[in-house]
Structure 1
Amino acid sequence: MRLAVNPTRMELLKLRKRLVVARRGHKLLKDKLDGLMKEFMRIAREYKTLRLAVDNELPSVLKLFVLAEITSSRLITENALESTRQDLDVVLHARRLMGVVVPRLEITFGEVAGSYSLIHTSPELDRAISALREFLPKLLHMAETEETVHRLSREVEKTRRRVNALEHTLIPRMVETIKYINTKLDEMERSNTSRLMKIKAQRLAREMSSRLS
């Protein structure tokens, strides 16, 4: 399907310039799409590894808290945790990856408020708290990686749509329209040449007629 333009030399020049820009833009977008796909696949593999590690580690952490309750009691364990509260700050930062804004989560542990009796609590509680402290940053890293995968995926789809629109719609329409204008201009040129030749022939005929008379 051609573009709706008049078949003039001015429009032909404009279209040729637009076609150059469109092809350049298509190449840039195609390069961007290739880069995005590579980065997306890399982050997706990283997320898969992190997810597997989190899924494997979480039951072990929970098991330590269960053991702490079994070896002492739920009440003692809950009181111990209540008496040793610790602030946890999670700060959301932003960074750019292939032009896409993606999150970066930073976790900070505050000071431990209070303490609990080591006599009445189970050693498993210490191990459980230590395991949870090591586990939380991994969980947050997995969460930020998952969101990064989603954002890169959306950018890949958006860029792919733009590449396809240029490659399969706009550029072919421009090429077809340029061919159409060239054909029309050639027809007009042949028509003008034929008309001029007729005028010239008529003029020569009149001149010859006037000379003979």
Structure 2
Amino acid sequence: MARLNVKPTRMELANLKSRLSISTRGHKLLKDKQDELMRQFIILIRKNNELRKEVEEELTEAMKAFVVAKSLLNESFIEELFAVPDKSVTLDIQEKNIMSVMVPEMNFSVNEDDKDAELQYGLLNSNSELDDSIERINKILPKLLELSEIEKSCQLMADEIEKTRRRVNALEHLKIPQLKETIHYIEMKLEEDERASITRIMKVKDMGQ
């Protein structure tokens, strides 16, 4: 480990000891932050995996029902049915702070004027599979929104964990050892100078006797 290129003086020694103290405290704070970020990240990952499994299973069932409905109904009827949305949805995205990481908090609401609206189609042209698929997809929407929120949070936290890890490693394996080695070098150099000074004084005294 290459030491810092500084002059071996007592003032520089005091300065380096102060920097070492600050770096050591900073390392501890960053390490604590990294540990807490990892804890929060693991919780989110587990929740993400569970929710993704639920969403995939429910989407699969909804699509199965839709495929059956599509095979039994006129294709132009289905296209016309879904051509114009029967209701509008407003998405509100806020932010929340998790260990200094700003992650999204998403909420959606169906417009009040449209909340009671339903897809308008003739019962003779429809079938239970189509009704089932539409109902299933409507129920999945909140979970899809929550899943997107969690996955984005996981991505942002993973980036912050990586940045924090690099800073911790830089302090632990580079800056702190470098400061310690430089402090040790200056202390040895000052002791050596002090011994040389004492030796010179003693020689001067011997010459004066």
- Residue 194 of structure 1, CA deviation: 1.1
Q: Flag structure 2 segments of 5+ consecutive residues without an equivalent.
A: none
- Give the match for residue 11 of structure 2: 10
Q: How many residues align?
A: 204
- Give the match for residue 94 of structure 1: 95
Q: Deviations over 1:169-200 (max 9, x none)?
A: 11111111111001100111011111111222
- Contact map agreement 1:80 1:121 (CA 8 A) in 2: no
Q: Deviations over 1:85-143 (max 9, x none)?
A: 22122222221112111112222223137733334322333322221111112112111
Task: Give the Cα separation in 1 of the matches to 2:81 and 2:169.
Answer: 61
CA shift in 2, pair 1:10/1:83, >3 Å: closer
Given candidates 190, 199, 202, the residue that maps to 2:204 is 199
Q: How does 1:160-171 map to 2 (within 5 A)?
A: 160-171=165-176
- Give the match for residue 211 of structure 1: none
The one-letter code matched in structure 2 to 1:9 is R
CA shift in 2, pair 1:83/1:180, >3 Å: closer
- Give the match for residue 141 of structure 1: 146
With the length of structure 1 as denominator, give the TM-score of the two structures. 0.88
Q: Deviations over 1:145-188 (max 9, x none)?
A: 11111111111111111111111111111111111001100111
With the length of structure 2 as denominator, give the TM-score of the two structures. 0.90
The one-letter code matched in structure 1 to 2:16 is L
- Give the match for residue 186 of structure 2: 181
Q: Give the stretch that moved more between structures: 73-82 or 26-35.
A: 73-82
- Contact map agreement 1:36 1:156 (CA 8 A) in 2: yes
For the aligned residue pairs, the C-alpha RMSD in angstroms reads 1.8
- Give the match for residue 209 of structure 1: none
Q: 1:55 and 2:56 equivalent?
A: yes
Task: Give the Cα separation in 2 of the matches to 1:114 and 1:74.
Answer: 16
Q: 1:41 and 2:46 equivalent?
A: no
- Contact map agreement 1:93 1:105 (CA 8 A) in 2: yes
- Contact map agreement 1:64 1:125 (CA 8 A) in 2: yes
What is the DSSP-based 3-state SS (H/G/I as helix, E as strand, rest coil) of the residue aligned with 1:86?
Answer: coil
The one-letter code matched in structure 2 to 1:14 is N
Task: Give the Cα separation in 1 of the matches to 2:188 and 2:85.
Answer: 85
Structure number with the bigger relative contact order (C-alpha 8 A, sep ≥ 6) is 2
Task: Give the Cα separation in 1 of the matches to 2:119 and 2:51.
Answer: 33
Q: 1:154 and 2:159 equivalent?
A: yes
- Give the match for residue 210 of structure 1: none
- Contact map agreement 1:94 1:104 (CA 8 A) in 2: yes
What is the DSSP-based 3-state SS (H/G/I as helix, E as strand, rest coil) of the residue aligned with 2:136?
Answer: helix
Bigger radius of gyration among the two:
1
Task: Give the Cα separation in 2 of the matches to 1:133 and 1:167.
Answer: 51
Task: Give the Cα separation in 2 of the matches to 1:27 and 1:187.
Answer: 34
- Give the match for residue 103 of structure 1: 104
Given candidates 120, 124, 130, the residue that maps to 2:135 is 130
Q: 1:75 and 2:80 equivalent?
A: no
Q: Give the stretch that moved more between structures: 1-10 or 74-83.
A: 74-83
CA shift in 2, pair 1:113/1:57, >3 Å: closer
CA shift in 2, pair 1:32/1:56, >3 Å: same
